[in-house]
Amino acid sequence: MKLKDRVAIITGGTKGIGLGCARVFGKHGGKVVIAARDEANGKKIEEELQKSGIDAFFIPCDVSKEEDMVGLIETTVEKYGRLDCMVNNAGWHPPALTIDQISVEDFENLVRLNLTSTFMGCKFSIPHLKKSRGNIINMSSEVANIGQTSAASYVSTKAGQIGMTKALALDLAADGVRVNAVCPAGVMTPLVKEWADSEYDPEAALSLVDRWHALGRMATAEEIGEVCAFLASDEASFITGQAISPEGGASLGYGIKFQG
């Protein structure tokens, strides 16, 4: 078990990619701390993970608040005595809007949620990761590399995560702390399903997203979790400062890739 007894914090760990990471880290022997705002759902997910044999612990946390992020990391270390991996996953993709439709306040709020939270997760976890020679995984997006229409605010926050990843990898290399980013394309999550259900033809909407990928489908949350588990493990001991893209060929070619 490549993550046996490793302690990982996963923000946004109660649904979507974060929950996929929690399940996979647990499968590989890791102890997972899942953090999210919804306490009732968090406790429910904690119980589900524990019933499946995973050492899971839920901590309520609003990642946009400094005191919550400090408390998340301190509570984790108090409970487990260590921290080996910080997965900064929590974030949000707003509806499609052009820049003239986005207020400065909305942009700043998104930066706070998507990017400042990553900064805080890194900043407050680093003292503990230096002790364990652990690692950080920042959940970015493939759109940080290729762009996305009507998403200037979101893409900016995701690109910022990649820049932060590379800078911190240099700063922390001498301490044995690795820092990497993961950049998925389409992932079948409850949020994507919710979006599709709001469309005139949900099935056609999902089919279109599938065909953005050369492999003809979206990733599962667990597939992204496996990439993160690899990066968190000793198998990735010589990988740092990288933005890994498990994106099913979404960045290749022009337009829709899959004609099946």
3-class state of residue 46 by DSSP: helix
Residue the block writes with tokens 């590989």: 28
Calpha distance 257→259 (Å, rounded): 7
Q: Which of 62, 140, 143 is nearest to 96 (CA)?
A: 143
Calculate the alpha carbon distances from 89 to 102, 103, 252 in Å.
Answer: 23, 25, 25
From the candidates 80, 154, 200, 254, give the one annotated as an active-site residue.
154
Helix%, strand%, coil% for the chain, nearest 5: 50, 15, 35
Calpha distance 11→43 (Å, rounded): 14
DSSP state, 246?
Answer: -
Residue 128: burial class (beta carbons within 10 Å; 0-12, 13-18, 19+) = buried
Whether residue 154 lies in the annotated active site? yes
Calculate the alpha carbon distances from 242 to 76, 168, 175, 209 in Å.
Answer: 27, 11, 17, 26
Q: Which of 182, 174, 175 is nearest to 118 (CA)?
A: 182
Calpha distance 55→134 (Å, rounded): 19
Calpha distance 182→167 (Å, rounded): 15
Catalytic residues: 154
